[in-house]
């Protein structure tokens, strides 16, 4: 494990309108205690970020944007920049598989977004992971290698401490299929070994690596008990405040949860 603090991220994707998001936050706040060993991050749609940022108790929850554009300003109709998000969010999910596969984001786009987030004081959560066919052909480690190199090129070792990697096998996202603990351990070790190669052992050890892919309140504890895993990126199960609070409780080591 890289750090003592677990990170639990709820990615709401394109769900919950602003009113529903506010009600959800109110409900979750009543279910989750502030814990020193757990950091909880909520990623609503961009529309709800501003209002949630006024409502949220930042000791309890941080906010993340699900995507951003890498230029700071200019003629980019429909986009939102890291400069505009500065002060509203602490984190940015970058390179989610839905962005890569539906919106054809390339490693170059991902890398530019990582840099944009960092230069605006926003911590990137860089998502990487193989598709079902890449897995079938035994290419998981190659994909991890390529997406890490692609996403982290231009990142310095000082900046690396602000980056979290989320290992999200594409075949496990929103499918109800879980990666086995062995799959996750192998992938996370491959990530750390690649980071060690690029930035050295200390950086590799200190880097936060999450697992994401159809995590539920039932499966969360198993992943969180893996030594190499520092937290979870949760999609579907984060849409239910009670279920998400149960996942968050699993990340707390104390007996009073």
CB atoms < 10 A from the CB of 11, how many?
26
Q: Measured from the CB of residue 238, what is the shortest distance to ligand PEP in angstroms? A: 7
Q: Measured from the CB of residue 179, what is the shortest distance to ligand PEP in angstroms? A: 10
Q: Measured from the CB of residue 147, what is the shortest distance to ligand PEP in angstroms? A: 15
Phi, psi at residue 191, to the nearest 5°? -65, -50
Nearest to ligand PEP of 68, 204 (CB atom): 68
Instruction: Provide the angle, in degrees to the nearest 10, between the axes of the packed helices 140-152 and 107-119.
Output: 40
52/17 Cα distance (integer angstroms): 11
Residue 96 falls in the annotated catalytic set: yes
Q: Measured from the CB of residue 184, what is the shortest distance to ligand PEP in angstroms? A: 12
Nearest to ligand PEP of 66, 199 (CB atom): 66
Residues 6+ apart with CB under 8 A from 241: 24, 27, 28, 31
By beta carbon distance, the residue nearest ligand PEP is: 235
Residue 189 contacts residue 179 (beta carbons within 8 Å): no
Catalytic residue chosen out of the listed positions 39, 96, 98, 105 = 96
In the complex, the residues that contact ligand PEP under the rule CB under 6 A are: 11, 13, 96, 168, 173-174, 212-215, 233-237
Residue 98 falls in the annotated catalytic set: no
Catalytic residue chosen out of the listed positions 98, 105, 159, 168 = 168
Q: Measured from the CB of residue 241, what is the shortest distance to ligand PEP in angstroms? A: 15
Nearest to ligand PEP of 67, 214 (CB atom): 214
Nearest to ligand PEP of 150, 212 (CB atom): 212
Nearest to ligand PEP of 117, 127 (CB atom): 127
Active site residues: 96, 168
């Amino acid at each position: 494990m890289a750090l003592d603090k677990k990170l639990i991220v709820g990615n709401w994707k394109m769900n919950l309108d602003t009113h529903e998001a506010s009600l959800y936050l109110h409900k979750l706040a009543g279910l989750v205690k502030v814990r020193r060993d757990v950091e909880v991050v909520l990623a609503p749609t961009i529309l709800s970020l501003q209002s949630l940022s006024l409502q949220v108790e930042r000791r309890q929850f941080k906010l993340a944007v699900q995507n951003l554009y890498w230029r700071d300003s200019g003629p980019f109709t429909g986009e939102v920049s890291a400069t505009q998000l500065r002060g509203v969010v602490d984190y940015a999910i970058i390179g989610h598989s839905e962005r890569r596969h539906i919106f054809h984001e390339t490693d170059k786009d991902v890398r530019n977004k990582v840099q944009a987030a960092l230069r605006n004081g926003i911590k990137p959560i860089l998502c990487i992971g193989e598709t079902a066919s890449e897995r079938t052909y035994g290419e998981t480690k190659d994909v991890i290698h390529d997406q890490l190199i692609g996403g982290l090129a231009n990142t310095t070792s000082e900046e690396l401490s602000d980056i979290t990697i989320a290992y999200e096998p594409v075949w496990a996202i929103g499918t109800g299929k879980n990666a086995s603990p062995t799959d996750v351990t192998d992938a996370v070790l491959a990530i750390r070994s690649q980071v060690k190669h690029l930035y050295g052992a200390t950086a590799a050890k200190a880097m936060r690596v999450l697992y994401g892919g159809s995590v539920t309140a039932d499966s969360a504890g198993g992943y969180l008990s893996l030594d190499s895993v520092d937290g979870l990126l949760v999609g579907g199960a984060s849409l239910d405040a009670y279920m998400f609070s149960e996942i968050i409780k699993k990340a707390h080591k104390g007996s009073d949860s």
